[in-house]
Structure 1
Amino acid sequence: MFVVGSGGVHLVDELRSLGANFIDVEIKRFPDGEKYVRIAGSGERAIVLSSTFYPQDEKIIELLLLGDALRERGFEYLRLVVPYFAYSRQDRVTKEGEPISVRAIMRTLGLYYDELYVFDIHNPETLRYFPGKAVNLSPAKAIGNYFKEKLENGVILAPDHGALGRAKAVAEFLGLEYSHFEKRRVSPTEVKMYPVDVNVRGRDVLIVDDIISTGGTMIKAASLLKKLGAEKIYVSATHGVFSEGAIERISKAVEEIAVTNTIPTPVSKISIVPEIMKLEASHIV
């Protein structure tokens, strides 16, 4: 059964349509701004579901309160599903004195939760910081299903070599060629991008990444692909962490932009709910 936090409310209708079961929870705010939660149901096992998009800190505190409330209510085993995991990009120390933020969050959540499930986390190696079982789920099939009718003679590209595995997973599901962009510095102030070992002329292209924020890389890549003779250019990502105006800027540069619904946005057209439902099926309550 699901306990849905504030960061999962946008998924409830689809979950319900697929037969999900829910435990009633009350979530509100005290006059001074502090969060209040109350678990109305009872049981032994539950799945807590909430993405941690903005305001991130508030949603993380809420997950801790839900975990404590469920333990207080007598629940013995808790799965936590966080489709978008905040602080995941702060995964290393770049200046002396910094924390590894993703480690701090995972260790704290591990005080209450036995298992953690995320979607396409920025660095899968960071899952080792969670003290229990931690699983990184792939949205490659969902992304592939959405675009399979749109890509004729298509090719899947990653914006850089680090994202190549993501492009590979989507491409293998669709039976298409895949590659990535390389960045080459040509002067102290100029960096050029180019696709590696693939001809895009006359072909439809899907660029796939884990997170889109400002959209600058996607816009630059789309401009280059047009110069190289690509036909329709599509952009997708798991998490649409869009800064102000990013959707409009990207939309002007490509045929279509579509991201998953780990975060609710106007272009969250690809659902990860079926993957979440599989977790309930394997977590008999």
Structure 2
Amino acid sequence: MSAPGLKVFTGNSNRPLAEQICASIGVPLGEATVTSFPDGESFVKINENIRGQDVFIVQSTCTPTNHHLMELLIMIDAARRASAHRITTVIPFYGYARQDRKDQPRVPITAKLVANLIVAAGANRILTMDLHSQQIQGFFDIPVDHLFASPVFFDHVERIKMRSDNMVVVSPDVGGMKMAAAYAGLMGSQLGMVWKKRTSATTVESVNIVGDVKGRDVLLVDDITETAGTLMNAAKLMREHGALSVRAAVSHSLLSPMAYDRLKLGHIDELITTNSIPVEPRGLPITVLSVAELLGEAILRIHNNESVTGLFKVKGF
């Protein structure tokens, strides 16, 4: 019996990224119809034979989140009913990840619910990147390959010559300390943190800073930004404490109109992000780095039953 062939399909959430992934690994993007009926219901048809094939479905659950999630679930079901050998869902950005615990009475754990839906639809494996919290991997009853965007960010930071004794990596909140510590260790830099107080879902008041940023280049690191409130308040605080420059490295930028307005204030010299979801710079200092090669290499290794551990390493480390 011959080994299963490799097939890559995508929904409508981030087709350019899927095309870049396919270009990087030298396989054509699979032909599938993914559209909607006039009443809003999603419709999927896979337009080629995938019986016995190793199928990868690329789909971020970004805005409109619920619509793209339904597309993903229906594509998984279509592939399963078409007798695919294995179905791996490639989710560069996993939505609902911030709803990962019961932090108040009578609320759901939606990150777990979404994981259940993906497994129930027929997925055999998950490939994702920079989850909001590591424990979400345990919400799935199937294997999860969790990548980090840090190697991509590291290469960019190296190119702009930020890596030096003068650089300090800062977490804009307490929850991001583990991620910031990993970046600081990787780059041989000092570590800092902002203690913040959230006043509403869209408003954050930065209160104090732990660490010395005076006369230093600051790199803020975070996994998600939507309104840029946390980043802007942290950046403003860095400026007030004498930082020479402030850049932000954010894995997933779901930039709302409020975020663009805040970025125009100029507190951040550069927002460095990835194309895990579509991002429009709109003339602002936003640098979008591609994670296509990273995800493409992971897809090849999964397909060939090889370890993905090497993808966590950065050149020279």
TM-score, scaled to structure 2: 0.82
Deviation, structure 1 residue 59: 0.9
Tell me whether 1:37 sits opposite 2:47 in the alignment.
no
**For residues 284 and 149 of structure 1, what CA distance do their matches in structure 2 show?**
32
Q: CA deviation at 1:283?
A: 3.1
1:191-202 mapped onto 2 (5 Å cutoff): 193-196=207-210, 198-202=211-215
Among residues 124, 127, 130, which one is paired with 1:120 in the alignment?
A: 130
CA distance in 2, matches of 1:234, 1:284: 37
Question: Residue 283 of structure 2 aligns with which residue?
Answer: none
**Selected match of 2:195 from 176, 182, 203:** 182
In structure 1, stretches of 5+ residues that fail to align are none
- The alpha-carbon deviation at position 10 of structure 1 amounts to 2.4
Structure 1 residue 84 displacement after superposition: 0.9
Q: 1:219 aligns with which of 206, 229, 232?
A: 232
d(CA) in 2 for partners of 1:206 and 1:176? 10
The one-letter code matched in structure 1 to 2:147 is L
1:98 aligns with 107
Distance in 2, matches of 1:213 and 1:168, equals 23
Aligned-residue offset at 1:60: 1.0
State the Cα distance separating 1:184 from its structure 2 match: 7.6
Within a 5 Å distance, the mapping from 1:47-126 to structure 2 comes to: 47-111=56-120, 112-126=122-136
Say which is worse superposed, 233-242 or 17-26, in terms of deviation: 17-26
1:135-174 equivalences under 5 Å are 135-150=145-160, 151=162, 152=164, 153-174=166-187
The Cα shift of 1:33 comes to 1.8
Q: Is the 8 A contact 1:24 1:39 kept in 2?
A: yes
Q: Which amino acid aligns with 1:180?
A: M
DSSP 3-state at the match of 2:88: strand
1:6 to 12, 17, 36: 12
Aligned length: 280
2:223 is paired with a residue of what secondary structure? strand
Indicate conservation of the 8 Å contact 1:201/1:231, yes or no.
yes
* Residue 231 of structure 1, aligned match among 244, 255, 265: 244
Q: What code does the residue aligned with 2:114 have?
A: I
1:155 alignment partner AA? V
Aligned twin of 1:244: 257
Q: Cα deviations across residues 171-203 of structure 1 (Å, max 9, x unaligned)?
A: 233222222223489xxxx9653332x321111
Give ranges in structure 2 of 5+ residues lacking alignment: 1-6, 199-203, 281-285, 305-317
3-state secondary structure, aligned to 1:211: strand
Over the residues paired in the alignment, what is the CA RMSD in angstroms?
A: 2.1
TM-score normalised according to structure 1 size: 0.91
Percentage identity across aligned positions? 26
